[in-house]
A and B are shown apart, each in its own frame.
Chain A
Amino acid sequence: MAEPRIGVYICHCGSNIAGTVDVADVAKFAAGLEGVAVSRDYRFMCSDPGQEMIKKDIKELRLNRVVVAACSPTMHEPTYRRVLKNAGLNPYFFEMANIREHCSWVTEDKAKATEKAKALVAAAVSRVAYNQPLETRQVPVNHSTLVVGGGIAGIQAALKIADSGNKVYLVEKSGSIGGHMAQLDKTFPTLDCSACILTPKMTLAGSHENIQLLTYSEVEEVSGYIGNFKVKIRKKARYVDLNKCTGCGNCTELCPTSVPDEFEEGLAKRKAIYKPFAQAVPNKVLIDAKSCLHIKGLASGKDLCRLCQKGNPKKGIVGCETGAIDFNQKDEVIEVEVGAIIVTTGYQLFDPSVVKQYGYGRLDNVLTSMEFERIVNSAGPTGGHIKLKDGKEPESIGIIHCVGSRDEKYHEYCSRVCCMYSMKFAHLIKEHTSAEVYEFYIDIRSFGKGYEEFYNRVLEEGTVFLRGKPAEVTNIAEKPEEKGKLIVQFEDTLIGRQRRIPVDMVVLSCGVEPSHDAAQIARMFNISRSADGFFLEKHPKLDPVATMTDGIFIAGCCQSPKDIPDTVAQASAAAAEALSMISRGTVEIEGATAVINEKLCTGCQFCKEVCPYSAISFDDKKKVCRVNDALCKGCGACVGGCPSDAISLNHYTNEQILAQMDGALT
Chain B
Amino acid sequence: MKSFLDEVKATPGGEHVLACIQCGTCTGSCPMAQYMEFPPRKIIAMIRAGLREEVLSSSSMWHCLSCYSCTARCPRGVKPTEIAHALESLANKHGFKVGGTKTPMFYRSFVDSINGRGRVFELGMMIKYYLLTNPLAGLKIWKVGLQLFTHKRIPLKGARIKETGDLSRILRKYKEIGGSD
Report which A residues bind B (CB closer than 8 A): 357, 402, 406-409, 442-443, 467-472, 489-493, 496-498
Contacts and interface: CB of A to CB of B under 8 A. Distances in A.
Given A408-B76, A472-B28, A491 B39 contact: yes
A357 B22 CA distance: 19
Size bin of chain B's contact surface: 20 to 34
A493 B23 contact: yes
Taking each of A470, A489, A491, A493, which has the highest tally of chain B beta carbons within 10 Å of its own beta carbon?
Answer: A491
Interface string B20-32: 0111111111100
B43 to A, nearest CB: 10
B75 A491 contact: no
Contacts of B27: 468, 471, 491, 493, 496, 498
20 contacts: A402-B23, A406-B21, A442-B21, A442-B22, A468-B24, A470-B28, A471-B27, A471-B69, A489-B29, A491-B24, A493-B23, A493-B24, A496-B27, A496-B38, A496-B41, A497-B33, A498-B28, A498-B30, A498-B33, A498-B39
A442 B69 CA distance: 19
Interface in B1-35: 21-30, 33-34
Contacts of B41: 491, 493, 496
Contacts of A407: 75-76
B42 interface: yes
Contacts of A406: 21, 75
A627 B33 CA distance: 74
Nearest to B34: A498
A344 to B, nearest CB: 30
A467 B24 contact: yes
Contact of B25 (A408, A443, A471): A471
B28 A490 contact: yes
Given A468-B28, A491-B24, A496-B39, 8 more contacts: A408-B76, A409-B75, A471-B73, A472-B28, A489-B28, A490-B24, A491-B26, A496-B42
Contacts of B73: 357, 471
A491 B28 contact: yes
B137 to A, nearest CB: 29
A491 B21 contact: no
B65 to A, nearest CB: 15
Nearest to A405: B75
A491 B42 CA distance: 10
B75 A469 contact: yes
Given A406-B21, A490-B24, A498-B39, A471 B29 contact: yes
Contacts of B22: 442, 493
Nearest to A498: B33
Contacts of B34: 498
B77 interface: yes
Contact of B33 (A402, A408, A472, A491): A491
Taking each of A490, A496, A498, which has the highest tally of chain B beta carbons within 10 Å of its own beta carbon?
Answer: A498
A471 B73 CA distance: 8
Q: Sorted from nearest, which 4 A-B pairs have the closest CB atoms?
A: A471-B28, A491-B24, A491-B27, A407-B75
A498 B35 CA distance: 11
Nearest to A493: B24
Interface of B: 21-30, 33-34, 38-39, 41-42, 69, 73, 75-77
Contacts of B39: 491, 496-498
Contacts of A467: 24
Contacts of B23: 402, 442, 468-469, 493
A469 B25 contact: yes
A469 B38 CA distance: 18
A407 B77 CA distance: 9
A489 B28 CA distance: 6
Contacts of B38: 496
Nearest to A490: B28
Contact of A472 (B26, B29, B75): B29
Contacts of B33: 491, 497-498
Contacts of A468: 23-25, 27-28
A269 B108 CA distance: 65
Nearest to B22: A493
Contacts of A443: 21
A408 B24 contact: no
A469 B77 contact: no
A491 B21 CA distance: 13
A469 B24 CA distance: 6
A333 to B, nearest CB: 45
A408 B29 contact: no
Contacts of A471: 25, 27-29, 69, 73
Contacts of A491: 24-28, 33, 39, 41
Nearest to A488: B28
Contacts of B77: 408
Nearest to A469: B23
A305 to B, nearest CB: 50
A406 B42 CA distance: 20
Nearest to B25: A469
A489 B73 CA distance: 13
Contacts of B29: 471-472, 489
Nearest to B29: A471
Contacts of A472: 28-29
Contacts of B76: 407-408
A491 B33 CA distance: 9
Contacts of B69: 471
A403 to B, nearest CB: 11
A471 B33 CA distance: 12
Nearest to B69: A471
Contacts of A496: 27, 38-39, 41-42
A332 to B, nearest CB: 47
A472 B21 CA distance: 18
A152 B77 CA distance: 37
A357 B33 CA distance: 18
A574 B26 CA distance: 44
A470 B33 CA distance: 14
Nearest to A443: B21
B84 to A, nearest CB: 16
A492 B76 CA distance: 19
A456 B73 CA distance: 31
B74 to A, nearest CB: 9
A490 B29 CA distance: 7
B79 to A, nearest CB: 12
Nearest to B75: A407
Contacts of B28: 468-472, 489-491, 498
A146 B34 CA distance: 60
Contacts of A357: 73
A643 to B, nearest CB: 52
A409 B73 CA distance: 9
A470 B26 CA distance: 9
A355 to B, nearest CB: 9
B166 to A, nearest CB: 38
A657 B111 CA distance: 67
Nearest to A355: B73
Taking each of A443, A467, A470, A471, which has the highest tally of chain B beta carbons within 10 Å of its own beta carbon?
Answer: A471
Taking each of B27, B39, B69, B77, which has the highest tally of chain A beta carbons within 10 Å of its own beta carbon?
Answer: B27
B62 to A, nearest CB: 18
A468 B22 CA distance: 8
Nearest to A471: B28
Nearest to B70: A471
Taking each of B22, B28, B30, B69, which has the highest tally of chain A beta carbons within 10 Å of its own beta carbon?
Answer: B28
A496 B77 CA distance: 21
Contacts of B30: 498
A39 to B, nearest CB: 44
Contacts of B24: 467-469, 490-493
